[in-house]
Structure 1
């Protein structure tokens, strides 16, 4: 019976998430800002089938020239979708399943955190508030930012693990913090950049309370180590691509501060962010989220004035206060009044949009709201309390499910995202920032990559094969000449001519290699760069250290 009680909240969150995931259960698919998701899942699955681990390259995107998208765009969600695809679902259905998992994850993770402080019933309400936060809906059905809402789902689990280290200092909690922090990083690097200072503040707060908890910082460090296979190249190899072009211009943070009134109410839309107080996208924190958290804070203040620590433990009151400060700080950083901070910290330019701090605001108000329902428990009888909890859960869903709906559902299937033309042209036009800086983008579909384009009066292509991590061409030349292979230049690609490595040069339409007269067997193989190799070694080191901790931990 006790085990059923423990499992019941998980079942309830999954059942009540139906209204958040319902559009993903229908035929077809919906438009979104980042309308590339099934294509990326397909490309990830194709790379895994070709034996590329970790996956760094997409062979078909980038107008067919390929590009190292998974070196820079956090890949975890796509690994999830790719595994589902390889297990049998088509790329579109695998993408929907991937998204459903990420959506439900948010509710479950917040429930696990909030129940630690407020109990299961209150934790359940907090979990649903987090799942049904308006910003969560924006990321799913407006922006289509799968990477960000996956990270959103993992965020509470790191806070939970850190608190568990403070309370019990068991190795399993160090392991879980390291794992979940790594998952935040490889789910969405910008979310990791935003949330890490808050994790550090939380850890410092807990360390001050108990100086024997250095494991708080060790766990976070191990998380960074585990994610190094992705994060190190993402930082150090950016200059080989045009990723930096996304900073400034239309994504200049100075044009995307939020007006205070927009946190309470702003028009729901499927457009973009603009300068001023009228945007095509909503930045609401959620009226009912705000009301519940304000009531919780007022009730906590009342207890403080009464010096009543029987209802809420002193630790809980302190952490509620800390998370309130997180809420206020996140709101401030979204307002134009904070521009001096943004201007003084150049790295914050990479965040692009100050309203990304809605993640912290949504997290904080959802957690704080859980405290209200714990306080109610002290003043009403258990039966009425459970009726209140049930009513609150239904109200959260009823009042917020309207946000979890796309603009429209189109009659699309997988072929609309994974056909050659879709990958090489339609989807490639959406994101081209992972191409080399000197690359000359095709002006029409006839200019997309084609290995047969290497042929001319001096070169005859006799045969070729192409995989994600290997391209082989058998060529016959009349004289010594250069060939430009339609492969986006990237230092990880090594060229081998008749079995011997040869130098390559960057060209505006691919990678150039010098051929010899006669028969030429030209092979391009993806060999990880030194940076990528070091990143892999650091990640493996993190795994080894965690494994040693499991083996050698006190029994």
Structure 2
């Protein structure tokens, strides 16, 4: 057996020596993509926790695009009453699968293709990050493999259906690159910090909040560099301002909504029991879904090996002023924060906004990215010969595939068995769009009551006669026989930004959280109401577009000057 293995290894080494490095890297990355997402070739897709919610978002966006609209309030939700996903939950990347649906593609197929594109983008940014830090193809390949096949990311895709968090994997490596450039190398490349944070904010707010916290720590540890070259701090401020400008079309309208009304999001979610969501050390490193924890898996045993590699003498002494050792320290801090040994209750008394992360295991995201980057760097330094590198790479792929097969294989086996043999599970149903926990409903809006109410206009005046037609969230209404105090409650959930074409009428929110039109003594008339967004929302779209264009021009000129220099 050993002889056969050595013979196979020798042939592999000979084949690798004949290949160009570029072709070899592309071949391995392609194989990695197939390992990660090859199961998507199986027809249909298992029921992940949030799958219906994600498919609903894509389908609703597609319906709006077909009407020529870019929505903030989504169509099709709550019997066409509308639901403001787009005001509170970044959806920019979802335009891609939504456009595919508009072109005639099945929504599940569009979702699968989007997962492929997101994975390719994640591979690209992780590779770029490590290549920027250490200029090593092998280190970049190892890092990409660790991140792409990591248990937490795989669970996010196939079991949790946490699409927004999966997208956040794309942007965290760019934030690391931006921090490295601003603090330690070329601060004129600050734009990676802005692109990373903007992308993170527009995909997953919780990941954005986590990275803001870690950035504060990175800056604190890099204070010596800022003291030596004070211009670096100026570039950090510039990156912050530009980030705000890039995301302003989403940030400020969201804040405007939250200041104008109360929502389930702002009154209930922040009370999450973060301390109660911790994991034991065994659960942190054993990458299996635990039924009692709703299928959340740990980071995997492979990262124990990464942590131990730090203490190999070839990785040098621990230096707190190095970005890699800061990543290592913050990964350890995060692991501690996921365990019961971390004083969450005390920390939250001082830093109550941290409760927005909801669950301590959210930190598995940053732990996975940080340790993936470090795993590539440590492997490059420790494995010096080609044979060592090939063996180490094979080892990490094996360690990653075991939990992958148990988690994803188990998910698919159960789904296929219960859909095709027992018939206990039905394929994904999008006849009713999922609102998840209804976080973006205004207080007073009850989804059950809305469902029972139906698509009707009601009034406090029994004698009032009303007819209406609708196109999406645009209602054309005709009424007559109204009393002086009459009002109409429309089949629309109230969000600030609805506009009516009759200035004599007044829009307010009803006690049930619906759009109410006060007729103000008008006995008869017609009006059209639609969600057009607020003036602030309309202005900040231009701010974001102009800021983004300015960043692109800056990148072009900076890159051109660097090549000429």
Q: What is the TM-score when the length of structure 2 is the normalising length?
A: 0.82
Which residue in the other structure is 1:231 paired with? Answer: 251
Query: Who is 1:275 aligned against?
Result: none
- Give the Å deviation of 1:151: 0.6
Q: Give the CA RMSD over aligned residues.
A: 3.4
The separation in 2 between residues aligned to 1:364 and 1:551, in whole angstroms, is 29
- Decide which moves more: 15-24 or 433-442: 15-24
Q: How does 1:485-500 map to 2 (within 5 A)?
A: 485-497=490-502, 500=503
> Who is 1:311 aligned against?
none
2:14 is matched with none
Distance 1:389 1:302 in 2: 16
* Runs (4+) off by over 6 Å: 1-4, 411-415, 452-456
**More displaced stretch, 144-153 vs 156-165:** 156-165
Match status 1:484 vs 2:489: yes
User: Larger relative CO (CA 8 A, sep 6+): 1 or 2?
Assistant: 1
Between the aligned partners of 2:472 and 2:460, the Cα distance in structure 1 is 20
Superimposed CA distance per residue, residues 318-347 of structure 1 (whole angstroms, 9 cap, x where no aligned partner): 222111111111122223423121221111
Look up the match of 1:144.
161
Aligned-pair distance for 1:233? 2.8
1:461-509 CA-to-partner distances (Å, cap 9, x unmatched) read 44412224x3222344465532211111112112233xx3521221216
In structure 2, distance between residues paired with 1:3 and 1:241? 58
1:296 to 287, 309, 319: 309
- Structure 2 unmatched ranges of 5 or more: 1-16
Q: Name 2:86's counterpart in structure 1.
A: 70
1:243-392 to 2 correspondences below 5 Å: 243-247=265-269, 251-265=272-286, 267-269=288-290, 271=291, 279-291=293-305, 293-300=306-313, 303-304=316-317, 318-336=322-340, 337-339=342-344, 340-378=346-384, 380=385, 382=386, 384-385=387-388, 387-388=390-391, 390-392=393-395
Per-residue deviation, 1:143: 1.8
Is the contact made by 1:33 and 1:142 (CA closer than 8 Å) also made in structure 2?
A: yes
Aligned to 1:102: 118
Superposition deviation, residue 192 in structure 1: 0.2
Kindly report which structure 2 residues correspond to 1:123-202, keeping only aligned pairs within 5 A, or say none. 123-165=140-182, 169=186, 171=188, 173-202=189-218
Q: Distance in 1 between matches of 2:331 and 2:552?
A: 36
Cα 1:224/1:12, change in 2 over 3 Å: farther
1:539 to 2:544 alignment: yes
Residue 523 of structure 1 aligns to a residue in which SS? strand
Q: Tell me the distance in 1 between the aligned counterparts of 2:364 and 2:543.
A: 32
What corresponds to 2:415 in structure 1?
A: 408
Structure 1 gap segments, 5+ residues each = 272-277, 306-313
Contact 2:151 2:400 (C-alpha < 8 Å) held by counterparts: no
In structure 2, the residue corresponding to 1:458 is in which secondary structure? coil
SS at match of 1:36: helix
Deviations 1:252-303 (A, max 9, x none): 223212223321226524x5xxxxxx53333412101211x13321115773
Shift of 1:81: 2.1
